[in-house]
Amino acid sequence: MVKRYKIGIIKGDGIGPEIIDEAIKVLDALSVTMDLNIEYSEMLLGGSAIDETGVPLPKETIDGVRECDAVLFGAIGGPKWDNLPRELRPESGLLKLREVMGTFANLRPAIVYDELIDASTLKPEVIKGVDIMVVRELTGGIYFGQPREMSGERAFNTMAYTKEEVERIARVAFDIAMKRDRRVCSVDKANVLEVSQFWRDIVTDIAQSEYPEIELTHMYVDNASMQLIRNPKQFDVILTSNIFGDILSDEASMLSGSIGLLPSASIGKGVGLYEPIHGSAPDIAGQGIANPLATISSLSMLLKYALGEDEASLKIDNAIKKALEQGYRTADLSAYGAKEVCSSTEMGNVIASLVSRS
């Protein structure tokens, strides 16, 4: 039976169009073998939207997203738009889109591939086999808390969470852990922050009442940041707040040695947004050398978490591993066991060919 899905496509700026095109190529190849009928709906966001419509997030994009099953997103921004008023910059459009989509949970995997173990600055015995998922609360906490103020003599921000906000992000982390190793480490600063003690109490209650199969531990954020470097393999799923997750997910991403490999997802009450963690890299845009693997991995997450197509997701993951095993590398990884250095298009062709044969 053919399954039908509507996927929103936001290519964005810089290398965004190049890497998204390669992910679409892979999905097209996969659709044939998996009997998937994919309808694409392309929309504007960021600098490209500003150039065409004058605003970073057109109403047509907001309306279009709501009609999709999921959105695959490239990257936005660049020096061309840096001097615009803040509300008209590309990044403001992305923040507004996340708000409209209700994406309160950010998922950031950190996976170390054996073939690229030397790309990391850490010792191979420390990082071999690392496979971590950071689940970050995305719409609450100190970044959004009120009141906030800055004057000539004083500035302050408010770190605040409601019970509902903590409960819903905890359930996301626990649900993901149920499909992995069933271990969650909740990271906070409960020894000095009341809001963190509040967080810890609620997370503990949810685990005990709804997820007895989960092994839940707690760790202070300063210790967690040290342990991520000292012994990252101790972690499976890390659950944490907005500001702590912002820092820890970036730290975890460097375990792999290259941000060109790492995907992310922003999910929540409605349509999810799936994107690579790297930026728009305007300095290499149009040269055909951008690494599309993070975007292709983001497609894998889209298939798994948005569409429930676990088998299709696994086919992509296996294809990426096989391509790396066979020595295919883009320019950013050419120093690490490359047998053939590929352009963006060539790497997309390799992955599409592998998923077609799997």
User: Pick the catalytic residue: 3, 6, 96, 143?
Assistant: 143
| Cα(265)–Cα(273) distance, integer angstroms | 6
Q: Work out the end-to-end distance of the chain between its first and last CA atoms, rounded to an integer number of angstroms.
A: 19
Catalytic residue status for 250: yes
Structure tokens at 301: 């997450």
User: Pick the catalytic residue: 82, 118, 222, 310?
Assistant: 222
**Alpha carbons within 13 A on the beta-carbon side of 321:** 12
Catalytic residue status for 143: yes
324's CB contacts (< 8 A; 6+ apart) are 113, 115, 116
Residue 19 phi/psi, 5-degree rounding, is -75, -35
| Cα(5)–Cα(69) distance, integer angstroms | 6
- Would you state the torsion angle of the CA atoms of residues 335, 225, 129, 267, taken in this order, to the nearest 10 degrees? -90
| Cα(242)–Cα(340) distance, integer angstroms | 40
User: Pick the catalytic residue: 13, 161, 189, 328?
Assistant: 189
User: Pick the catalytic residue: 69, 131, 181, 246?
Assistant: 246
User: Pick the catalytic residue: 69, 131, 205, 250?
Assistant: 250
| Cα(356)–Cα(33) distance, integer angstroms | 6
Catalytic residue status for 222: yes
| Cα(70)–Cα(151) distance, integer angstroms | 42
Hey, which residues are catalytic here? 143, 189, 222, 246, 250
